[in-house]
Structure 1
Amino acid sequence: MKIAIISGSNRASSSSKLLAKYVGSKLEEKGCEVTFHDLFEKPVPFYYPDERDQVDDVNLQLLAKTVAEADGIVLSSPEYHGGPTGVLKNALDHLDSEHFDGKIVLVMSSAGGAVGVSTLQQLQVIVRNVHGINCPEWISIGGDQRRFTSEGEPESELIKKRVARTLQYFVTMIVNFRK
């Protein structure tokens, strides 16, 4: 099972990126083939609808190929002013139903406050509009829950349990949908 993880942070070492990497490692433990696309390290150009078919960018081509070939998709973003980052929204604007149609999508966020629910809701609306299937579970970390060990694991046992439960649900949805 192929999983594409898109990290939409504007920072080199953000908690949403650490969460995405942790989730990727847990999916690999479940036997998934994970491809991690970090929009900080591999940015894509600004989306221009009039020039959509003329964009020749290596990072964009890699992103589109990764998502198109995936069985499931994970979107991870910090919450900036009540929404996902501009870099993630811009990347998603380049993609459409040919990339997401009928695929299970898990959304995650990291917020300075308690939780990043606005980001999660907005990402789920975007997923619906590109014909993806939202996983009804999501992962949101906030405040002290955003602490990770030097090995890249959440310090909070509650977050580890939440991730494990959510990923089990996510993977089961993908398996059942592919039957």
Structure 2
Amino acid sequence: MTEGDKPLVVGIGGTIGAVSSTERALRIALDAACDQGFRTRMFGGADMARLPLYDPRATSRTDHEREFVDTVRQASAVIIASPGYHGSISGVVKNALDLLEETAKDQRPYLADMPVGLIATAYGWQATGSTIAALRSIVHALRGWPTPFAAAINTQVTKFDDGGGASDPAVLEQLRLVGRQVARFAPLVERP
């Protein structure tokens, strides 16, 4: 099987600015899916910052918007990682997900029938739970299937490094579990 023939897992998440804990967590989960034989594509904070605010009335889309939507259309699974901002998901992650409205009339609209792994990072525990709950609700609205396990990471306690590691081995395993679960359920997805 060539690289292009492998099923695709798309990662969406991060923050604008430097590489964030959220992006590092997402990368660990995507690497676990890659270890299961999937190719991956991550849309991090810098990618999402290039997406204009979603306008449902727009008659054309930017190259960045088209690339994002077309890549998600090709996906067999998605992993969404968001920092917990004021008890919910970040604006850039929500804006990217809103752009999936472009798929509403597709044979497979939105995230229909796709496994979707979820990761929330926050500086404290309270926002991790509410962010995961918000992500689950959004995935349900987009007709996706949140995987049974979601990783909630308190970045006040767990620190990530540039080499793809984290200070807590249990957090590493939780993130890898998210990646393995989307890989396990992705073959069940019937692509259009």
TM-score under structure 2 length normalisation? 0.84
**Structure 1 counterpart of 2:20, one-letter code:** S
Distance in 2 (alpha carbons) for counterparts of 1:91 and 1:150: 25
Given candidates 50, 54, 61, the residue that maps to 1:47 is: 54
How far did residue 143 of structure 1 move? 3.5
Q: What are the Cα deviations for residues 102-144 of structure 1, in whole angstroms up to 9, with x where unaligned?
A: 1111111110002611111111111111111111210111034
Q: Number of paired residues? A: 177
Say yes or no: does 1:174 pair with 2:174.
no
For residues 126 and 154 of structure 1, the distance between their equivalents in structure 2, rounded to whole angstroms, comes to 28
Amino acid at match of 1:139: A
Q: Does 1:149 align with 2:161?
A: yes
**Could you say which structure has the greater relative contact order, defined with CA pairs below 8 angstroms and 6 or more residues apart?**
2
1:69 to 60, 65, 74: 74
Report the counterpart of residue 108 of structure 1 in structure 2: 119
Q: 1:81 to 1:144 in 2, by over 3 A?
A: closer
| Counterpart contact for 2:28–2:176, Cα < 8 Å | no
Residue 17 (structure 1) aligns with: 23
| Structure 2: distance between partners of 1:49 and 1:56 | 10
Partner residue in 1 for 2:129: 117
SS in structure 1 at match of 2:9:
strand
Gapped runs of 5+ residues in structure 1? none
Alpha-carbon distance in 1 for matches of 2:148, 2:95 = 24
Cα RMSD, aligned residues only: 1.9
Question: Counterpart of 1:160?
Answer: 172
Letter in structure 1 aligned against 2:37: G
Q: What is the rounded CA distance, in whole Å, between the counterparts of 2:42 and 2:129 in structure 1?
A: 23
CA deviations 1:139-163 (Å, max 9, x no partner) are 1110344312331211211112222
1:72 maps to a residue whose letter is A
**Which residue number corresponds to residue 137 of structure 1?**
149
Q: Relative to structure 1, is the Cα distance of residues 145 and 25 closer, same or farther in structure 2, using a 3 angstrom cutoff?
A: farther
